C-alpha cells in the first residue's frame, strides 16, 4: 500500500546566513514576519518597506529521511511558488517554473539535506521578457511572463507583495509494484442513471505485474483491468439522486473509492466525492443578440453571482475553515455562483469541497488576466501542463460548471491599444481559442468552456458587446452615475461594481494611530484604484451633499452609495430575465484591508453591500423602475413555485403623510418576472414625495430625485439595547439606517445592514459579540440620512 508522509517539520528559511524557522506550507513573507524580520505589510504603509523581499533569492532546507521498505520513493510537491531548483545534498533533482502545478521527483534510496532554492520572480519574469519580447498589460509589473498568481504583483485592490515558497503540501510517497498516477472521473447522467467512468493511468515498477481495479460508488461496485499503464472502470448508479445548485434542490454527493490491486494486495486507493448533474450553456441567437444562460439538470438559471479573488495575498494562509466561512457568507447572501477570477489561482480542494456542499456553482477562470501573454516557450508548455493537471484535479467537483479562458484579454486586444503595439507578436489568443478548449474537450467533456470574459462568442462582434455573451460593465464606475446601469440590458453581466472603504474597525487596525480622513496617507496607500478617491467623490456628489471634513459621515455615505449602485444594476437586470441571465458582482472578498469593490472586507467584516445582496439575491424581489412617464413594479420570482400576494402601495411625503394608497394583487409564475403598472395617482411628484410598496416582508422604494434634493426631516428614533439586539423605533422617516456594529467593539457583528423605517415602524437588529449592551453606545453607532447641512 502506498505510504504518504507529510514533510512539515524541521524546515528553515535561509536569510543572511541564518536559518529562520519556516512553516511549510507557507511563504517567505509569512516566515519573515513570524521571525520579526519584517513588519506586517498589511499595516500602514509597510507594504513599501518589504518590497525588497520579492527581489531576493531564497532557500528552504530540511533533512530528508531515507529507507522505506518499498521499491520506489517519490518526493512530491503540490505547489512551489514559483521558480526553483530542488537539490538533495547539493545534487540537482529538478527545476520548476510554475506555481500552478505539482512536481514529483524520484528519491529512491536517497536521503540527506533537501534544499529548495527560489529565484526572484522578478528576475525570472524579466529574463523571459528579454527572450520573447515586451507585451502590453494593464499594469507595469511583469506578471504575464511567468506562471505565477498575477495579483502577487499588485492590482487595483491589492498590494504588491511578490513572495516565494513551498505554498502547498509536500510529502514523501513510498510504493511498490504500481501506483495510481492519474484518475480522471467523467461523471454523467444518462436516462436517469448516474454514470462514473474512471479513466486511470498508473506508474509501475514491475511491468509484468497483473493489475486489477475495483471501483465503488455508494453501494455499487465494478471491476476492471489495467492494460499497460491504462485502464477504465465504469460504475452505473440507478436512480441516482441529482446534485443541484442552492435554491433548486439538494446537494447530493456520492463517495467514490477506486482501489488498485495486485494479487489481491491493495497497492493504492483514490477517494473523492462526486455529484450527478448535467450542465449546458445556451448561447443561441435570438432577436436581441446572443444569449448566455446556464442550464443545470435542464433548469435554466439566472445566476446570482460574485467574483472571487484570492482571500489572502499569501494564499498558504487560507485554511479550510476560512474557505468555509467566506463561502458560507456568500451562500447566506443568496449567491449561487462564484467566479474564480483569472488573476488568482486554481484554489485548493477545500474551496471546491465547500462549494459542493453549499450548492455554489463555480465558474473557473484559467489564470490569465489583463495582459498580452506570450505563447512562446518556456510559457507555452507550462500553460498546457498546468491546464491538464488542474482540469483533471478539479473534475470530481459537481459545483464546477464552467471553464473560462481568461479575464479581459480578448477585450484588451481589441480596445486597449494592444493590437498595434504587438505588431503580430503572440498575445494569448492561441491559448484561449486553441490550447485550452482542446484540453477541456479532451479531458473534461461534461463541462462548458468559454474563451474569455467578456466575450461575445466570436470576433464577428465586439468582445464586450452587451448584446452578445458576457459583458463587463466598468464605464459606469469609471465615468458615469450608477443610474446608467439601467440604460442597457446585457445578456450576462460578468463584472460590475462600486467601491467603498472597509469597516471602521478594519481601518483602525490597518492604520494604527492615524487620524482618519478620506485622503490621509494611510487611506491613500490602501486605495489602489486609479483615481479611486476621485471616482468615490464624484459618485457621492451626484447623490449627496458632500460632508466637509467629517470622515465618519464620508465613510457612511460611501458605503451607502456602494450598496445603492449595486442595487441599481441587479434590480434592473434581474427584472429583465430571461433576456439577462446573470449578474456577477465585482467582488465578494478582499485579500488585505483596502478600499475596494468588495462586499466583505479584508478582515472578513461585512459591508452594507453584503447585507444588501441578501435582499437583491433573494428568491423574490420587488423593484420599481421608470417607464416612459410612469412607474412599473417588477416582481422577480426565482422560487420553484408561483408567487401570489397582496401588494400595498403608498404614496407618501417625507414628512410621513400618506397621500394615496391602493392594494393590488400580484401573480408571478415560477422562475419568472411579473410587471404591474403603478396607478398614475400614486406616482410621486417632486422632491418631497416617494413611493413605498410592501408585500410579505418585502419592500421597494422609489424617490424621484437624488438625496441631496430631498428635504429629509431631522431623524427622530428611540433606541433600546438588549441582550444580543438593538431595537430602533422611528418617529419620523429614517432612511438608510445603519448600525455600524464594529464601532461597539472590533468583534461585534450585526445581522442586517441598511433599513428604511417609516414613522412608527420598528426594527430589531441582531447583535453578536456585544457583552455590555448600552443604548447610548448603540445610538452613537447608528447612522442614517440627515437634512442637508
Helices (H), 280-346: 320-332
Written as nine digits, the cell of 642 is 408561483
Q: What is the pLDDT of residue 627?
A: 86
Question: Is residue 787 predicted with pLDDT exceeding 70?
Answer: yes
At residue 789 the predicted structure's pLDDT band, cuts being 50, 70 and 90, is: low
Assign 410 to helix, strand or coil. Answer: helix
Share of residues in the chain with pLDDT > 90 (%): 96
Q: How many CB atoms lie within 10 A of CB 713?
A: 17
Same domain, 694 and 721: no
Q: What is the mean pLDDT of residues 352-366?
A: 98
In a domain, 27, yes or no: yes
Q: What is the mean pLDDT of residues 436-462?
A: 97
Cα distances from 395 to residues 168, 240, 645, in angstroms, run 20, 18, 43
Write out the residue range of the structural domain in which residue 725 sits.
717-783
Q: What is the pLDDT of residue 179?
A: 97
Q: Write the pLDDT tens digit of every residue in 325-338.
A: 999 999 999 999 99
CATH code, domain carrying 207? 2.60.40.10
Same domain, 261 and 121: no
CATH code, domain carrying 87? 2.60.120.260
Q: Write the pLDDT tens digit of every residue in 298-319.
A: 999 999 999 999 999 999 999 9
Answer for the pair 231, 211: CB distance below 8 angstroms, yes or no: yes
Residue 433: DSSP 8-state: I
Cα distances from 98 to residues 27, 123, 378, 387, in angstroms, run 15, 14, 10, 11
At residue 531 the predicted structure's pLDDT band, cuts being 50, 70 and 90, is: very high
Burial label for 175, CB within 10 Å (0-12, 13-18, 19+), is buried
Q: What is the pLDDT of residue 639?
A: 96
In a domain, 188, yes or no: yes
| Measured distance CA(507)–CA(711) in Å, rounded | 32
Question: Is residue 538 predicted with pLDDT exceeding 70?
Answer: yes
Assign 305 to helix, strand or coil. Answer: strand
Same domain, 17 and 91: yes
In a domain, 102, yes or no: yes
Contacts of residue 327, defined as CB under 8 A and 6 or more positions apart, other chains included, come to: 338, 351, 354, 355, 358, 360
Same domain, 692 and 768: no
C-alpha 371: how far from chain center: 20
Q: Write the pLDDT tens digit of every residue in 510-525.
A: 999 999 999 999 999 9
| Measured distance CA(538)–CA(738) in Å, rounded | 23
Same domain, 15 and 155: yes
In a domain, 92, yes or no: yes
Q: What is the mean pLDDT of residues 405-434?
A: 97
Burial label for 219, CB within 10 Å (0-12, 13-18, 19+), is exposed
Q: Write the pLDDT tens digit of every residue in 186-240.
A: 999 999 999 999 999 999 999 999 999 999 998 999 999 999 999 999 999 999 9
Which of 274, 297, 319 finishes a domain? 274
Q: What is the pLDDT of residue 788?
A: 76
Q: Write the pLDDT tens digit of every residue in 361-381.
A: 999 999 999 999 999 999 999
In a domain, 567, yes or no: no
In a domain, 572, yes or no: no
Same domain, 79 and 202: no
Same domain, 231 and 106: no
Q: Write the pLDDT tens digit of every residue in 145-176.
A: 999 999 999 999 999 999 999 999 999 999 99
Indicate the number of domains in the chain: 4
Which of 274, 304, 335 finishes a domain? 274
Same domain, 9 and 131: yes
Same domain, 629 and 754: no
> How high does pLDDT run on average in the chain?
96
Contacts of residue 158, defined as CB under 8 A and 6 or more positions apart, other chains included, come to: 151, 309, 313, 528, 591, 592, 594
Same domain, 132 and 192: no
In a domain, 463, yes or no: no
Answer for the pair 640, 670: CB distance below 8 angstroms, yes or no: yes
Same domain, 692 and 734: no
At residue 630 the predicted structure's pLDDT band, cuts being 50, 70 and 90, is: confident
Phi/psi at 622 (5° precision): -105, 135
Which of 173, 208, 241 finishes a domain? 173
Q: What is the pLDDT of residue 5?
A: 95
In a domain, 296, yes or no: no
Same domain, 225 and 212: yes
**Cross-strand bridge partners of residue 348:** none
Q: What is the pLDDT of residue 547?
A: 83
Amino acid at each position: 500500500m502506498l505510504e504518504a508522509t507529510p514533510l512539515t517539520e524541521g524546515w528553515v528559511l535561509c536569510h543572511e546566513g541564518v536559518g529562520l524557522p519556516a512553516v511549510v506550507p507557507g511563504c517567505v513573507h509569512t516566515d519573515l514576519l513570524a521571525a520579526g524580520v519584517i513588519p506586517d505589510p498589511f499595516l500602514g504603509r509597510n507594504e513599501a518597506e518589504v518590497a525588497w523581499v520579492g527581489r531576493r533569492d531564497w532557500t528552504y532546507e530540511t533533512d530528508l529521511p531515507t529507507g522505506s521498505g518499498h521499491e520506489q520513493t517519490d518526493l512530491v510537491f503540490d505547489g512551489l511558488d514559483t521558480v526553483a531548483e530542488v537539490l538533495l545534498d547539493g545534487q540537482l533533482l529538478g527545476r520548476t517554473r510554475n506555481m500552478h502545478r505539482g512536481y514529483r521527483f524520484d528519491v529512491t534510496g536517497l536521503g540527506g539535506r533537501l534544499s529548495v532554492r527560489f529565484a526572484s520572480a522578478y528576475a525570472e519574469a524579466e529574463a523571459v521578457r528579454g527572450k520573447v519580447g515586451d507585451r502590453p498589460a494593464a499594469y507595469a509589473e511583469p506578471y504575464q511572463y511567468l506562471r505565477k498568481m498575477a495579483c502577487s504583483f499588485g492590482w487595483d485592490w491589492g498590494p504588491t507583495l511578490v513572495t516565494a515558497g513551498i505554498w502547498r503540501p509536500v510529502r514523501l510517497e513510498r510504493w511498490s509494484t504500481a501506483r495510481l498516477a492519474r484518475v480522471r472521473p467523467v461523471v454523467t447522467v444518462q436516462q436517469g442513471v448516474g454514470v462514473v467512468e474512471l479513466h486511470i493511468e498508473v506508474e509501475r515498477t514491475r511491468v509484468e505485474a497483473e493489475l486489477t481495479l475495483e471501483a465503488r460508488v455508494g453501494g455499487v461496485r465494478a471491476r476492471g483491468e489495467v492494460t499497460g499503464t491504462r485502464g477504465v472502470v465504469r460504475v452505473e448508479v440507478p436512480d441516482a439522486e441529482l446534485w443541484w445548485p442552492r435554491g433548486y434542490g439538494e446537494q447530493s454527493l456520492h463517495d467514490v473509492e477506486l482501489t488498485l490491486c495486485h494479487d489481491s494486495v491493495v497497492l493504492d486507493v483514490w477517494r473523492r466525492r462526486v455529484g450527478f448533474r448535467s450542465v449546458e450553456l445556451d448561447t443561441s441567437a435570438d432577436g436581441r443578440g446572443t444569449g448566455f444562460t446556464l442550464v443545470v439538470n435542464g433548469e435554466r438559471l439566472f445566476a446570482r453571482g460574485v467574483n472571487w479573488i484570492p482571500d489572502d495575498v499569501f494564499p498558504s494562509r487560507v485554511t479550510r475553515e476560512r474557505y468555509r466561512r467566506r463561502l458560507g457568507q456568500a451562500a447566506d447572501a443568496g449567491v449561487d455562483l462564484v467566479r474564480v477570477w483569472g488573476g488568482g489561482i486554481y484554489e485548493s480542494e477545500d474551496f471546491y469541497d465547500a462549494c459542493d456542499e453549499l450548492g455554489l456553482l463555480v465558474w473557473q477562470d484559467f489564470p490569465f488576466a489583463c495582459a498580452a501573454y506570450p505563447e512562446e516557450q518556456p510559457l507555452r508548455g507550462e500553460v498546457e501542463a498546468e491546464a491538464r493537471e488542474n482540469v483533471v484535479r478539479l473534475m470530481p467537483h459537481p459545483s464546477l460548471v464552467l471553464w473560462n479562458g481568461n479575464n479581459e484579454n480578448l477585450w484588451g486586444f481589441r480596445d486597449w491599444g494592444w493590437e498595434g503595439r504587438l505588431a503580430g507578436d503572440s498575445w494569448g489568443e492561441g491559448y484561449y481559442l486553441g490550447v485550452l478548449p482542446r484540453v477541456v474537450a479532451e479531458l473534461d467533456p461534461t463541462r462548458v468552456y468559454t474563451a474569455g470574459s467578456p466575450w461575445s462568442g466570436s470576433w464577428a462582434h465586439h468582445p464586450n458587446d452587451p448584446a452578445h455573451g458576457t459583458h463587463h460593465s466598468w464605464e459606469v464606475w469609471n465615468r458615469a452615475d450608477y443610474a446608467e446601469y439601467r440604460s442597457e440590458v446585457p445578456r450576462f453581466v460578468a463584472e460590475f461594481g462600486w467601491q467603498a472603504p472597509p469597516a471602521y474597525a478594519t481601518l483602525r487596525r490597518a492604520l494604527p494611530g492615524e487620524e482618519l480622513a478620506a485622503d490621509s496617507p494611510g487611506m491613500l496607500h490602501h486605495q489602489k484604484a486609479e483615481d479611486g478617491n476621485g471616482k468615490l467623490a464624484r459618485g457621492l456628489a451626484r447623490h449627496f451633499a458632500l460632508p466637509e471634513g467629517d470622515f465618519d459621515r464620508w465613510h457612511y455615505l460611501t458605503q451607502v452609495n456602494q450598496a445603492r449602485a449595486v442595487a441599481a444594476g441587479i434590480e434592473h437586470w434581474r427584472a429583465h430575465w430571461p433576456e439577462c441571465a446573470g449578474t456577477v458582482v465585482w467582488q465578494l472578498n478582499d485579500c488585505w484591508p483596502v478600499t475596494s469593490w468588495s462586499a466583505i472586507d479584508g478582515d472578513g467584516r461585512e459591508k452594507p453591500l453584503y447585507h444588501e445582496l441578501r435582499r437583491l439575491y433573494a428568491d423574490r424581489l420587488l423593484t420599481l423602475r421608470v417607464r416612459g412617464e410612469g412607474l412599473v413594479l417588477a416582481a422577480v420570482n426565482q422560487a420553484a413555485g408561483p408567487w401570489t400576494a397582496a401588494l400595498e402601495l403608498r404614496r407618501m411625503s417625507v414628512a410621513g403623510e400618506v397621500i394615496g394608497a391602493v392594494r393590488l394583487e400580484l401573480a408571478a409564475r415560477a422562475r419568472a418576472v411579473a410587471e404591474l403598472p403603478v396607478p398614475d395617482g400614486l406616482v410621486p411628484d417632486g422632491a418631497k414625495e416617494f413611493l413605498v410598496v410592501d408585500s410579505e416582508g418585502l419592500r421597494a422604494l422609489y424617490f424621484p430625485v437624488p438625496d441631496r434634493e430631498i428635504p429629509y426631516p431631522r431623524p427622530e428614533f428611540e433606541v433600546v439595547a438588549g441582550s444580543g439586539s438593538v431595537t430602533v423605533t422611528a418617529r419620523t422617516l429614517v432612511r438608510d439606517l445603519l448600525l455600524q456594529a464594529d464601532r461597539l467593539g472590533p468583534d461585534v457583528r450585526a445581522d442586517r445592514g441598511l433599513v428604511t423605517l417609516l414613522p412608527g415602524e420598528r426594527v430589531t437588529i441582531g447583535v453578536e459579540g456585544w457583552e455590555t449592551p448600552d443604548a447610548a453606545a448603540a445610538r452613537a453607532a447608528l447612522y442614517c440620512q440627515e437634512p442637508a447641512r
